[in-house]
Chain A
Amino acid sequence: MDRKEISEQLTKVGYVTDSQLTMALWLMERLERPLLLEGAAGVGKTEVAKALAEVHDTRLIRLQCYEGLDANAAIYEWNYQRQLLAIKAREGRGETAEEVEKHIFSEEFLLERPLLAAIREDKPAVLLIDEIDRADEEFEAFLLEVLSDYQISIPELGTVYATSIPLVVLTSNGTRELSDALRRRCLYHYVDYPSEDKEARILTTRLPRIDATLARQIAGFVAAVRKEDLRKVPGVAESLDWAAALVGLEVRDLRAEPEAVQDTLLCLLKTQEDRLALAPEVTQRLLGKVA
């Protein structure tokens, strides 16, 4: 797939891209390198992976990171219950301990977790490692190992080699500094809040029923809201929600219906303080700025 195709396909599946991101997606396939997406929460980092999976018509395997995530939860685990049962079942057969051991530590009892699953797909899957900054540094080292060799060694079973190299997308909200080694392993893309123009395009792509003028107004208003001093800056998902709400209320012009705007702001603002900060007067002022 060349870049033009990628860009067209992305648009088709409802993801509005730009040339820089298209280049990154093209390169990750060419150079077989993971892509690290950084940016504030809610700018659509996870969506990139979803769209990519759709474009390639392949499975999306997601690994959500959290503090304390360990190899057991990310790579593989043994099915302990079944193992215990199997030991019981074989008790009377007079097998040696080695034989039993060999049996219960075989493929049959192995539970795949996302990383193992991803390299054993027949068709290259999209592996989304979400919020890597939440995992511990220790896990980062694990991940680096998997991402550089695309093989996993299981002590009881031997080394599992990749049947296909997945397209790996990592996302980070920047709550912790990632190691240089991991950063260097990856291609890098910084995802910013979309420009007004881009956001309007996202709204019209995702919500076919929306009026083009309203989409532009919403994009303009949300852009203005993002400049306010808020605790939680609304992301793209929020503006989509809000737009859907306004469309549902059959609002055509934001300035004509300030009350509807004020009442639906709960789609955009998710904390009490932010709600209070955007009092009707403030909303009025921001609406005034919207062309």
Chain B
Amino acid sequence: MAADARALDVIAPENLSPVAGAQLRQRMAAFLALLRDNGFLVGLEEAQDCLRFAAAADLGRPASLRAGLRSVCCTCRADWQRFDELFDAYWLERGMKGMVKVSGTPPKGRGARRLSEAGAPRGSLGAPDQVSREGAEAGGNPADRQGRREGASSAECLAEADFRHLVTAEELQRVHELADRLARRMRHRLSRRERQRRKGRRLDLRRTIHRSIGRGGLPIDLAWRKRRERPLRLVVVLDASGSMSQYSTFFLRFIHGVLDRFREAEAFVFHTRLIHVSPALKERDAAKAVERLSLIAQGWAGGTKIGESLAAFNRHHAARVVHGRSVVMIVSDGFDTGAPELLAREMAALRRRTKRIVWLNPMIGWQDYEPTAGGMSAALPYIDLFAPAHNLKSLEALAPYLEQT
């Protein structure tokens, strides 16, 4: 093996004719940059490997260059399927749609279009900036859009921007990416916590024997390991009614990311009735999962019936999905067209079953908001955490609360 590595060095680009080597390096670097712009995880190490490979392989045939770079640069199935297209476009100069050419430009094409359709609904309740939204949606001024975009600090700005105020497809796309990343970060924090508390009630033989040496091998001082605590179960109940429609896609996206971390998780969407959507969230591809969920949530008319939906939840699902280690997270603005008494009764019933109820309400983030909507005030006494959820920052603030077991 070591001999092989040395053999590679001998024919490494720097030992070839310097001009050809430099050219290859440049071409390769540009290709890797293209991959990076298209979301591939390609770093320095991969770049070196690509060059080592290029030096060792017979590059006369594009097929072997393709196969080799594909093995090195792909890290998941999506990359795997996308690779050929990008390879052709760059090395064989075949044009393609949807390729990202410039660093930092959000991908256009399918993804972005879908978002602008699904994520920017019309005719929603309680949206003071309705007019400007529709203006921009109707086409807007390309130069203006250009001006809005990016810069190093834009990620932070977007994190604090109310989801309602996001207008362009690019912004939506970026926020969705941020939500994904946030979900992943939270997932990691949560799992670290779990690791630290993983002590248990199992005999730790290694330490026991250490301690028994001084006692002639008699294990008198026993060392214990605690049994691993089982993780929290997260049950999400999301309001997908018209008044929430500006927010629901973000939550779906975010929930999809976080659920992946909770080994035990269930999700429900309600509007006028309740639907169990966990299977749809099993879809690995976030955009696809959200699309499927949006399809499920579409096409219901009439007001929001939180009380009735919760009643359905308590009757049909709660026994199965809610237990002592569950956190029930309700995401809703609390505009209930049903009777507040029913909601209060069902909240009380739910309260008896579970340890914690979190109610996320995007409207808390609005200025001068008071939870006076009939439903909301009826539900308040049964809630452990009543938190805003109108932007990414507020979602991030939830992490510490979810960490407590």
Chain A interfacial positions (CB closer than 8 Å to B): 3, 19-20, 22-24, 27, 29-33, 35, 38, 68, 78, 80, 83-88, 91, 97, 100-101, 104, 124, 137-138, 164-165, 174, 176-177, 180, 183-184, 186-190
Q: Which of A104, A165, A188 has the most CB of B within 10 A?
A: A188
- The answer for the CA separation of A78 and B213 in the assembled complex, in Å, is 15
A-B contact pairs, 25 of them (CB 8 A): A19-B67, A20-B70, A24-B67, A27-B53, A27-B68, A29-B1, A31-B49, A38-B77, A68-B228, A78-B206, A84-B212, A87-B212, A88-B216, A88-B217, A124-B1, A137-B191, A165-B1, A174-B77, A184-B41, A184-B75, A186-B75, A188-B75, A188-B76, A188-B80, A189-B71
List A contacts of B219 (CB < 8 A): 84
In addition to A3-B64, A87-B209, A189-B80, 9 A-B residue pairs with Cβ atoms within 8 Å of each other are A20-B70, A23-B68, A84-B219, A91-B216, A164-B1, A177-B284, A180-B75, A187-B72, A188-B75
Chain B's interface: helix, strand, loop or mixed, by majority?
helix
Can you name the residue of chain B whose Cβ is closest to the Cβ of A33?
A: B49
A-B contacts at CB below 8 angstroms, number: 103
B351 at the interface (CB under 8 A from A): no
B213 touches A32 (CB 8 A): no
A83 touching B216 in the complex, CB below 8 Å, given contacts A20-B67, A68-B228: no
**Chain A proximity mask over B53-77: 1 for CB below 8 Å, otherwise 0:** 1001000000110011011101111
Can you name the residue of chain B whose Cβ is closest to the Cβ of A23?
A: B67
List A contacts of B52 (CB < 8 A): 30-31
List B contacts of A138 (CB < 8 A): 191, 195
A91 touches B5 (CB 8 A): no
A30 touching B4 in the complex, CB below 8 Å, given contacts A88-B216, A184-B46, A190-B77: yes
Q: How many residues of B contact A (CB 8 A)?
A: 41
Looking at the complex, which one of B71, B75, B77 makes contact with A27 (CB distance below 8 Å)? Answer: B71
Looking at the complex, which one of A20, A78, A183 makes contact with B209 (CB distance below 8 Å)? Answer: A78
B71 touches A101 (CB 8 A): no
List B contacts of A184 (CB < 8 A): 41, 43, 45-46, 75
CB distance from B320 to the nearest CB of A (A): 21
B214 touches A84 (CB 8 A): no
Can you name the residue of chain A whose Cβ is closest to the Cβ of B75?
A: A183
B205 at the interface (CB under 8 A from A): yes
- The answer for the CA separation of A69 and B63 in the assembled complex, in Å, is 40
B210 at the interface (CB under 8 A from A): yes
- The answer for the CA separation of A30 and B76 in the assembled complex, in Å, is 21
B1 touches A101 (CB 8 A): no
B260 at the interface (CB under 8 A from A): yes
